[in-house]
Amino acid sequence: MKTLFTLSLISLFVYHSGLAQQYKTNQAFGQVDMADLTLTSCSFEKDANAMVLLDKGEMTTNVDSVVVNYHMRIKIFNSAGNDAANIRLPYYSRNNLQQITQVEAQTINLEDNHVVYTKVEPSQIYTETIDKYRKAIVFAFPKVKPGCIIEYKYKSKRLGLVNPPAWYFQESLPVRYSELTGWMSKTTRYKIISRGNQPFATDTLEQSDNNKEVSKKVWAKANIPSFTGESFVSSSTANAQCIMFQLNSFEWDTEYKIQNGWHKIAFDLGFDDNFGVELSFRLSH
């Protein structure tokens, strides 16, 4: 039995090593290779104007917060793909329940066989107010031209006992590799809902070596076609390939189960400022 377990671990390591080499999954921010800089088209969607080379997230959950570190890398093939260089990151800002920090971004060009990095300066990163609940981090990449690579990273922190954000493997651009690593505290338990019929390249669960109260879960997909809208189909966020998290229970001295269902939706709507509270106010006046 022990031998079988050891062989399984070796096979898993070899498989992940193969993925890392094929899709360059372990490249740090700013680390690019010549093959990607000279790439001229997406191998599985030839007419794409741009593609996501790498979309990685690392999530940590606990009873008082959910933290996700994001890293996105995009290849621009032609001038029609330049729109991908305009970034907008909306978030729930009311009562500072969510914050986006540590934003870094840069454009990477190959000029005369030299790799040239152009940073997005902090003064070029803006905060836009959407409404009383939401804001957005907004910026545009400089020196964008066909052949360049753009990449950015940031940290998102949501306070309170909340559902982690959904992870979308599928985007408006084709995606070469998308991966979410979740460090899941045993004090919070989630129902995980997977949407999309494309198989996972990785779907593993491991025990943390340093902390037995935390488990490590990795989900990944590769070569995901772009999401294209169709008639009578709602937004991409309602249909794109993704995984979603629904809090089932948490521990705080004792275990508490979360009641989900239509009665929970009715309760939340009843106390929503723009629905139940507003309706009660109007009926009483």
- On the question of pLDDT at 1 being above 50, the answer is no
Residue 2 belongs to a domain = no
Judgement on whether residues 275 and 170 belong to the same structural domain of the protein: no
As a whole number of angstroms, the longest Cα–Cα distance in the chain is 74
Among 121, 185, 150, 131, which Cα is nearest to 51's?
150
Judgement on whether residues 216 and 280 belong to the same structural domain of the protein: no
Q: What is the pTM of this model?
A: 0.82
Residue 6 belongs to a domain = no
Query: What is the pLDDT at residue 31?
Result: 95
Query: What is the pLDDT at residue 265?
Result: 58
Span 63-91, average pLDDT: 96
Sorted by sequence, the CB contacts under 8 Å of residue 15 that are 6+ apart come out as 202
Judgement on whether residues 243 and 162 belong to the same structural domain of the protein: yes
pLDDT digits (tens, 9 = 90+) for 26-74: 899 999 999 999 999 999 999 999 999 999 999 999 888 999 999 999 9
Determine the distance from the C-alpha atom of residue 136 to the mean position of all C-alpha atoms in its chain, rounded to a whole number: 16
Span 109-114, average pLDDT: 94
Judgement on whether residues 238 and 171 belong to the same structural domain of the protein: yes
Residue 10: which pLDDT band, with cuts at 50, 70 and 90?
Answer: very low
Residue 8 belongs to a domain = no
Residue environment code for 66-90, b if the CB has 16+ CB neighbours within 10 A, otherwise e: bbbbbbbbbbbbeeebbebbebebe
Angstrom distances, CA of residue 43 to CA of 113, 240, 250:
23, 21, 44
Residue 51 belongs to a domain = yes
pLDDT digits (tens, 9 = 90+) for 236-275: 677 899 999 998 888 777 777 776 555 555 656 566 666 5
Nearest-angstrom CA–CA distance, 124 and 118: 12
Query: What is the pLDDT at residue 226?
Result: 96
Q: Of residues 116 and 255, which shows the higher confidence score?
A: 116
Range of the domain at 88: 20-252
